[in-house]
């Protein structure tokens, strides 16, 4: 890799680390209810909000009440997003006159946005009205993220409190996440993105003349709309000459800012952050990338701060960072190597001062290899799922990186809230394994880890592979499952595996050639997203409740320190081992075979 490439990556990671501490400190104050003065003036508005909602800010919830509030709130979101899509043809802010979305696609999209997945079976600019995008999808970008952060705050309280039966108030945690964290950050980011050229308007699509007209063939239709066939049974085509370009615009920046910050990832346009209006310049790309990992990284510091030992947060952040850099290196190497088949055709794929080189199919010139792979690694480390290049066209090894990161449970930074609560579950498993090895009762942060806690942690770790591998196995046995495959051979299997991994992991990125907008996949992936979100969230809340009720044991000489390099290594080992045990056989059938094929063919 070029010196500039290394510099770009180092700068990105450096800025991320520098910002983690101040933002993490701020978020800890927000969840502890000790608002710093510069946002204190908003407190009366917050109190008025609780009065209208009939919420007593001081009344805390047991974990079961917390879980019920989460579920009811999410159910309302599903109903609202579904209804908006079905009724958008009758509602305002629809200058293109887009009609109702199909029931199965609406179901899928509603679950997708409420579960913070933002899997998109549809193309934004050709399907969703401005109203649906704003009032349905963008609202869920905020609220699903705020819900994840609230659940994390509850789990952290499980560690930081002792001998109590409550873990906080869902309405307060969710509202504060939105008002004090997501909304102000989104506002700043949205305006910064507009300054780079991201669109923000309510105009109809723009028509501009083409410098050189374009012609294409389309099937000729008879009066009733059926294709006309000639004597030999072939379709008759007619030449269409196009002299104008219709350019889709809309209120993009406001939605793009929160889709990145909330690790949602659902694009305003079909190709997401590869679209020049969604991600116009390298600086816009830098800001959007930073926004993907900013809150997840900072939450590690929040965690350390709230449990009263910031070293604990840094240890987790270091473990995440090390895994991230490892996966990034593999991806950058694989994509920069390019496609051996192209070299044989007289194509120059070498990196130089005047070109990025490498595997440029499905990548944008302004991002090149370095920023495309950096994005692909960040978006799947976090459960973001937005893309600035097409993962389906990656080399097999390059495409393996995002796939594996999703399958590890998106705990390398992870989604806002859900990433860190997933990682803390791995930490619980890690101390449990260490306890087994040395024959002592495992403890983490002064809490004894007992049978109930390990059962909940095991659910969190076992449910995603069950959904991913089970779903993939069913799909490859059915014709409706196989007919959506776009690329032939081993790559086709990878497409299905990626789809179920992305849905169950609540990521939302795709091997996008895959035809996911069918009743079968809309339903199957919708269910995978639902279980992948709430069947993890509920055990996590149960764990939080169980931990909060325990006594705190003072650290003794026999306690294992959980802020040392040894523990960082143990944590990384646990994440990789569990992931490898679950997914290596499936990966061998997809990307591994394809990589061997690609090399073998040349």
Partner 1 sequence: MLKVLRPAIVSFLLLSLLTGIAYPLLVTGISQVTMPGKANGSLIMKDGKPVGSSLIGQSFSDPKYFWGRPSATGPMPYNAASSGGSNLGPTNPALMDAVKARVQALRDADPGNTQPIPVDLVTASASGLDPHISPAAAEYQVARVARVRNIAPDAVRKLVAEHTEGRQFGILGEPRVNVLALNLALNAETGTH
- What whole-number distance in Å separates Cα of residue 126 and Cα of residue 246? 12
Paired residues of 443 in beta bridges = 448
Q: Does 447 bind partner 1 (CB under 8 A)?
A: no
Q: Does 286 bind partner 1 (CB under 8 A)?
A: yes
Instruction: Give 187 or 577: the residue with its C-beta nearer to partner 1.
Output: 187
Q: Does 339 bind partner 1 (CB under 8 A)?
A: yes
Write out the binding residues for partner 1, residues 226-255 only, by CB under 8 A. 240, 242, 245-249, 251, 253-255
Largest pairwise CA distance in the chain: 90
Tokens of 54: 């009939």
**Angle subtended at Cα 367 by Cα 362 and Cα 370, rounded to the nearest 5 degrees:** 95
Instruction: Report how far apart, in Å, the C-alpha atoms of 290 and of each of 16, 17, 262, 382, 593 are.
Output: 7, 10, 12, 11, 34
Q: Which stretch binds partner 1 (CB under 8 A): 129-137, 301-309, 450-458, 472-480?
A: 129-137
Write out the binding residues for partner 1, residues 56-75 only, by CB under 8 A. 65, 68-69, 72-73
Q: Does 212 bind partner 1 (CB under 8 A)?
A: yes
Select from 358, 414, 465, 481 the one that contacts partner 1 (CB under 8 A).
358
Q: What is the CA radius of gyration of the chain?
A: 24
Q: Report the nearest approach of partner 1 to the CB of residue 200 (Å).
A: 4
Select from 196, 518, 523, 559 the one that contacts partner 1 (CB under 8 A).
196
Q: Does 288 bind partner 1 (CB under 8 A)?
A: no
Q: Report the nearest approach of partner 1 to the CB of residue 290 (Å).
A: 12
Q: Report the nearest approach of partner 1 to the CB of residue 559 (Å).
A: 40
Q: Does 531 bind partner 1 (CB under 8 A)?
A: no
Tokens of 282: 């390298």
Select from 95, 123, 326, 435 the one that contacts partner 1 (CB under 8 A).
123
Instruction: Give 162 or 366: the residue with its C-beta nearer to partner 1.
Output: 366
The CB-side HSE value for 548 (13 A sphere, CA atoms) comes to 21
Residue 159's Cβ-count burial label (10 Å; 0-12, 13-18, 19+) is buried
Q: Does 574 bind partner 1 (CB under 8 A)?
A: no
Select from 489, 569, 573, 585 the one that contacts partner 1 (CB under 8 A).
489
Q: Does 280 bind partner 1 (CB under 8 A)?
A: yes
Q: Does 49 bind partner 1 (CB under 8 A)?
A: yes
Tokens of 120: 């998109």
Q: Report the nearest approach of partner 1 to the CB of residue 143 (Å).
A: 6
Select from 221, 236, 341, 581 the one that contacts partner 1 (CB under 8 A).
341
Q: Report the nearest approach of partner 1 to the CB of residue 247 (Å).
A: 4
Instruction: Give 364 or 443: the residue with its C-beta nearer to partner 1.
Output: 364
Closest CA to 446 of 562, 571, 543, 538: 562
Q: Does 285 bind partner 1 (CB under 8 A)?
A: yes
Whether the CB-CB separation of 429 and 581 falls below 8 Å is answered with no
Q: Does 3 bind partner 1 (CB under 8 A)?
A: no
Q: Does 374 bind partner 1 (CB under 8 A)?
A: no
**Angle subtended at Cα 6 by Cα 275 and Cα 374, rounded to the nearest 5 degrees:** 35
Instruction: Give 277 or 314: the residue with its C-beta nearer to partner 1.
Output: 277
Q: Does 346 bind partner 1 (CB under 8 A)?
A: yes
Instruction: Report how far apart, in Å, the C-alpha atoms of 476 and of each of 5, 228, 350, 509, 602 are.
Output: 39, 36, 38, 20, 29
Closest CA to 474 of 515, 527, 426, 422: 527
Query: What residues contact 56, with CB distance under 8 A and at least 6 apart?
Result: 50
Select from 94, 102, 281, 523 the one that contacts partner 1 (CB under 8 A).
281
Q: Report the nearest approach of partner 1 to the CB of residue 115 (Å).
A: 16
Write out the binding residues for partner 1, residues 498-527 only, by CB under 8 A. 511-514
Q: Report the nearest approach of partner 1 to the CB of residue 135 (Å).
A: 4
Select from 6, 14, 36, 53 the one that contacts partner 1 (CB under 8 A).
53
Instruction: Give 494 or 546: the residue with its C-beta nearer to partner 1.
Output: 494
Pairing label, strands 206-219, 237-247: antiparallel
Write out the binding residues for partner 1, residues 8-37 only, by CB under 8 A. 8, 11
DSSP string for 383-450: T----SS-GGGS-HHHHHHHHHHHHTTS-SS-STTHHHHHHHHHHHHHHHHHHHHHTS--EETTEE--
Q: Report the nearest approach of partner 1 to the CB of residue 23 (Å).
A: 20
User: Mask of contacts with partner 1, 156-195, x by CB under 8 A?
Assistant: ---------------x--xx--x----x--xx--xx--xx
DSSP string for 513-582: TS---SHHHHHHHHHHHHHHHHHHHHHHHHHHHHHHHSPPPPP-TTSPPSSSHHHHHHHHHHHHHHHHHH
- What whole-number distance in Å separates Cα of residue 390 and Cα of residue 413? 22
Q: Report the nearest approach of partner 1 to the CB of residue 182 (Å).
A: 8
Binding-site residue total for partner 1 (CB under 8 A)?
135
Q: Does 102 bind partner 1 (CB under 8 A)?
A: no
Q: Does 121 bind partner 1 (CB under 8 A)?
A: no
Q: What is the 3-state secondary structure (H, E, C) of 438-491?
A: HCCCCEECCEECCHHHHHHHHHHHHHHHHHHHHHHHHHHHCHHHHCCCCCCCHH
Q: Does 269 bind partner 1 (CB under 8 A)?
A: yes
* Helix axes 139-160 and 252-261, enclosed angle (nearest 10): 20
Q: Does 336 bind partner 1 (CB under 8 A)?
A: no
Closest CA to 444 of 461, 424, 460: 424
Q: Does 259 bind partner 1 (CB under 8 A)?
A: no
Q: Report the nearest approach of partner 1 to the CB of residue 33 (Å).
A: 18
Q: Report the nearest approach of partner 1 to the CB of residue 416 (Å).
A: 15
Q: Does 543 bind partner 1 (CB under 8 A)?
A: no
Whether the CB-CB separation of 389 and 399 falls below 8 Å is answered with no
Q: Does 198 bind partner 1 (CB under 8 A)?
A: yes
Q: Does 345 bind partner 1 (CB under 8 A)?
A: yes
Provide the 3-class DSSP secondary structure of residue 245: strand
Select from 9, 16, 390, 547 the one that contacts partner 1 (CB under 8 A).
390
Q: Which stretch binds partner 1 (CB under 8 A): 21-29, 343-351, 400-408, 570-578?
A: 343-351
Q: Does 371 bind partner 1 (CB under 8 A)?
A: yes
Closest CA to 336 of 361, 354, 358, 353: 358
Residue 436's Cβ-count burial label (10 Å; 0-12, 13-18, 19+) is exposed
Q: Does 218 bind partner 1 (CB under 8 A)?
A: yes
């Amino acid at each position: 890799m070029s010196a500039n490439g290394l510099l770009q990556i180092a700068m990105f990671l450096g800025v991320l680390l520098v910002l983690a501490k101040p933002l993490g400190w701020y978020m800890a104050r927000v969840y502890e209810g000790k608002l710093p003065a510069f946002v204190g003036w908003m407190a009366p508005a917050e109190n008025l909000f609780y009065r209208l909602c009939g919420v007593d800010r001081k009344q805390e919830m047991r974990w079961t009440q917390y879980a019920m509030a989460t579920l009811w709130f999410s159910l309302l979101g599903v109903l609202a997003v579904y209804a908006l899509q079905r009724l958008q043809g009758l509602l305002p802010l629809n200058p293109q006159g887009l009609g109702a979305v199909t029931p199965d696609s609406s179901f899928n999209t509603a679950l997708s946005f409420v579960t913070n997945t933002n899997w998109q079976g549809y193309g934004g600019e050709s399907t969703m009205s401005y109203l649906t995008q704003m009032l349905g999808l963008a609202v869920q970008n905020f609220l699903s993220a705020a819900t994840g952060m609230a659940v994390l705050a509850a789990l952290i309280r499980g560690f930081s409190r002792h001998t109590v039966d409550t873990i906080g108030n869902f309405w307060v945690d969710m509202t504060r996440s939105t008002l004090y964290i997501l909304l102000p950050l989104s506002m700043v980011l949205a305006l910064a993105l507009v300054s780079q050229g991201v669109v923000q308007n309510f105009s109809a699509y723009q028509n501009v003349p083409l410098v050189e007209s374009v012609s294409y063939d389309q099937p000729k239709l008879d009066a009733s709309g059926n294709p006309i066939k000639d004597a030999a049974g072939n379709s008759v085509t007619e030449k269409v000459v196009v002299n104008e370009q219709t350019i889709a615009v809309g209120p993009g920046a406001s939605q793009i800012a929160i889709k990145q910050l909330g690790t949602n990832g659902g694009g305003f346009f079909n190709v997401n952050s590869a679209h020049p209006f969604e991600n116009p310049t390298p600086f816009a790309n830098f800001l959007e990338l930073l926004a993907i990992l900013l809150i997840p990284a900072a939450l590690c510091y929040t965690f350390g701060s709230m449990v009263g030992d910031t070293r604990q947060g840094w240890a987790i952040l270091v473990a995440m960072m090390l895994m991230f850099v490892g996966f990034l290196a593999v991806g950058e190497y694989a994509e920069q190597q390019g496609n051996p088949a192209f070299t044989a055709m007289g194509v120059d794929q070498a990196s130089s001062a005047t070109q990025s080189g490498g595997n440029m199919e499905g990548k944008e010139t302004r991002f090149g290899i370095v920023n495309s792979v950096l994005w692909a690694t960040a978006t799947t480390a976090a459960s973001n799922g937005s893309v600035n290049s097409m993962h389906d066209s990656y080399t097999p090894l390059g495409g393996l990186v995002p796939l594996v990161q999703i399958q590890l449970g998106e705990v390398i930074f992870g989604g806002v809230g859900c990433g860190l609560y997933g990682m803390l579950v791995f930490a619980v498993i890690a101390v449990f394994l260490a306890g087994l090895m040395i024959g002592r009762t495992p403890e983490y942060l002064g809490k004894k880890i007992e049978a109930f806690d390990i059962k909940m942690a095991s659910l969190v770790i076992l449910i995603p592979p069950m959904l991913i591998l089970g779903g993939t196995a069913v799909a490859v046995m059915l014709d409706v499952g196989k007919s959506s495959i776009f690329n032939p051979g081993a790559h086709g299997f990878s497409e299905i595996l990626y789809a179920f991994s992305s849905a169950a992991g609540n990521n939302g990125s795709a091997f996008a050639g895959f035809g996911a907008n069918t009743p079968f996949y809309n339903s199957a992936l919708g269910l995978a997203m639902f279980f992948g979100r709430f069947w993890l969230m509920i055990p996590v809340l149960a764990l939080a409740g169980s931990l909060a009720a325990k006594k705190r044991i003072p650290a003794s000489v026999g306690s294992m320190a959980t802020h040392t390099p040894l523990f960082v290594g143990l944590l990384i080992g646990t994440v990789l081992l569990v992931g490898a045990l679950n997914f290596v056989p499936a990966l061998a059938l997809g990307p591994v075979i394809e990589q061997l094929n690609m090399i073998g063919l040349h």
